[in-house]
Amino acid sequence: MSSKPVTKPSNWKKSFADKLLQILGTDGVISSPDEIIAYECDGLTGYRVRPICVVLPKSAKEVSEVIKLCDNENIPFVPRGAGTGLSGGALPTEDGIVISLSRMNRILEIDIPNQRIVVEPGVVNLWVTNAVSSSGYYYAPDPSSQLVCTIGGNVAENSGGVHCLKYGVTTNHVLGLEVVLPDGEIVEVGGKTLDHPGYDLLGLFVGSEGLLGIVTKVTLRILRKPESIKTILAAFEKVEDAGASVSGITAKGIIPAGMEIMDNLSIRAVEEAVQAGYPVEAGAILLVELDGPSAEVEAQTPLVIEVFKENWAKEVRVAKDDDERTLFWKGRKSAFAAMGRVSPDYYVQDGVIPRTKLAKVLGEIGKLSTKYGLRVANVFHAGDGNLHPLILYDSSKSGQLEKAEELAGEILKVCVDEGGSITGEHGVGFDKKQFMPLMFSEEDLDTMYLIRCAFDYKGLCNPGKVFPTPRTCVEVGRTSYREHPIEKSGLGERF
């Protein structure tokens, strides 16, 4: 941190940790090296940084006191949920602390008639659905990591899931937040009701990757469980035909809950790992899940099957019961882990393309794979164009990790060239900040930085993430001024 006074005494870390102890007590501060190791990285395991210490506050008030102390002493802080993030968002900063929200994990209020639930940020995604399931409700965003990842992390990353085609991502389900701002002030944004007047800070906060403050309470929308669910699996010789089926289905006026494509390499890996019964010879499979009122699902099913047939499907299976449905999904949901069977290491990429460009982009990825001599398996949230190429490599062979990273970067360039995005759900974090200029101009990025400045003028909250080049608010603020002629002539000053 450039703002850190050079005159800090040599034992400043120890004395800072002592002040934290006073706020949180001994069980609220982790500073022993063996215990800190677990917090040195998140799901982006290639990078590790040791923080001064990790704090485990239990309330917004404690978070606020910790942050005020950081603000006073210019110590950067990094919020952390379960640490499953894949872009290094929770990567600590040296000379900074990690604020883990894992002990703030209570469900505070369940309000079924108003379709709301209020939780603390450390609550695990799946707990939310579990808490309202007996009343016939559920929480829609369902990242594959939902057994572990926290709502706070979901809010920060604007996480998606396999059902977000129809129901939207986290931002469409978060209605209110309590936030501790980077100066320690506790504020509310949004609430249980809709349309709070003023700027949509809620919309800004969701997906802000922990750079605007720390979320300490979240109000979510819960949905009535659909009456009926039907999962259909279709196998194709060519990925193109699976892609064309996706557009064919929406052209019939149907928006399924989810549509997922897997290519041959993924199918084989998954079969080896979990025996989901996928046809291993297929060039691609497409999983379509329809949900809603029974009459609707019944009416949609034959239409979807018709589309498959029109696109030369080799095989179509409709899950007969819940068990078979679960099996169909098991394959898809374990796709990442299954790669461990066919390769010692893999890197998960996350890019988005207009879904009509699928065939073209997969062709390009194939070429890159040949060029780099690394295999790439593809799983794809086909409905919304979110591609997850899994790049297989062997870290014990020198240079392969670097090659894999380079290949991953090339894939992002292809996505952006086709009009897409460098990330659909895993975030920019530390991992992808250098790719931001592919999508955004200097002025676009300055505009985003202005937003950061409104929340965090000093830049202490999760620094070194998202933005490709370090900036300060003074620099960026200057760009939005246009000198008045009087000012220019030296006759008057601003404000």
Ligand X SMILES: Cc1cc2nc3c(=O)[nH]c(=O)nc-3n(C[C@H](O)[C@H](O)[C@H](O)COP(=O)(O)OP(=O)(O)OC[C@H]3O[C@@H](n4cnc5c(N)ncnc54)[C@H](O)[C@@H]3O)c2cc1C
Q: Which is nearer to another protein, 28 or 85 (CB)?
A: 85
Q: Which is nearer to another protein, 11 or 489 (CB)?
A: 489
Concatenate the DSSP letters of all residues of 62-115 into one string.
HHHHHHHHHHHHT--EEEESSS--SSSTT---TT-EEEE-TT---EEEEETTTT
Write phi, then psi, for 119 (nearest 5 degrees): -130, 160
Query: For residue 462, is it left (φ>0), alpha (ψ between -120 and 50) or beta?
Result: left
Q: Which of 8, 196, 330, 360 binds another protein (CB under 8 A)?
A: 196
How much of the chain is helix, strand and coil, in % rounded to 5?
40, 20, 40
Q: Which is nearer to ligand X, 82 or 117 (CB)?
A: 82
- Which partner in ligand X, another protein, none is near 479 (CB below 5 to 8 A by kind)? another protein
Touching another protein, residues 63-102 (CB under 8 A): none
Q: Which of 74, 250, 343, 472 binds another protein (CB under 8 A)?
A: 250
Q: Which of 168, 279, 366, 409 binds another protein (CB under 8 A)?
A: 168
CA-to-CA distance for 229 and 321, rounded, in angstroms?
A: 10
| Burial 100-114, CB ≥16 within 10 A → b, else e | bbbbbbebeebeeee
Q: Which of 74, 115, 343, 472 binds another protein (CB under 8 A)?
A: 115
3-class DSSP state of 209: coil
Q: Does 28 bind ligand X (CB under 6 A)?
A: no
322-333 and 335-342 helices cross at what angle (nearest 10)? 60
H-run or E-run covering 313 = none
> Min. distance of Cβ 425 from ligand X in angstroms?
3
Q: How many of the other CB atoms lie within 10 Å of CB of 172?
A: 14
Taking CB under 6 A as the binding criterion, the range among 54-62, 140-148, 365-373, 448-456 that sits at the site for ligand X is 140-148
Q: Long-range contacts for 197-202 (Cβ within 8 Å, ≥24 apart)?
A: 202/174, 202/175, 202/176, 202/177
Q: Does 79 bind ligand X (CB under 6 A)?
A: yes
Q: Which of 64, 171, 216, 369 binds another protein (CB under 8 A)?
A: 171
Q: Does 445 bind another protein (CB under 8 A)?
A: yes
Q: Does 426 bind another protein (CB under 8 A)?
A: yes
Q: Does 281 bind another protein (CB under 8 A)?
A: no
Residue 80: HSE in the Cβ half-sphere, 13 Å Cα cutoff: 29
- Which partner in another protein, ligand X, none is near 16 (CB below 5 to 8 A by kind)? none
Touching another protein, residues 342-371 (CB under 8 A): 352-356
Site string for ligand X, 314-353 (x = CB under 6 A): ----------------------x-----------------
Say if CB 101 and CB 150 are below 8 A apart.
Answer: yes
Q: Does 248 bind ligand X (CB under 6 A)?
A: no
Q: Which is nearer to ligand X, 144 or 311 (CB)?
A: 144
Q: How many of the other CB atoms lie within 10 Å of CB of 427?
A: 26
Q: Which residue reads 């007590």 in tokens?
A: 25
Judged by the rule CB under 6 A, the positions of this chain that interact with ligand X are 42-43, 78-86, 89-90, 101, 121, 143-145, 149-150, 152-154, 156-157, 159-161, 209-210, 214-215, 336, 425-426, 462
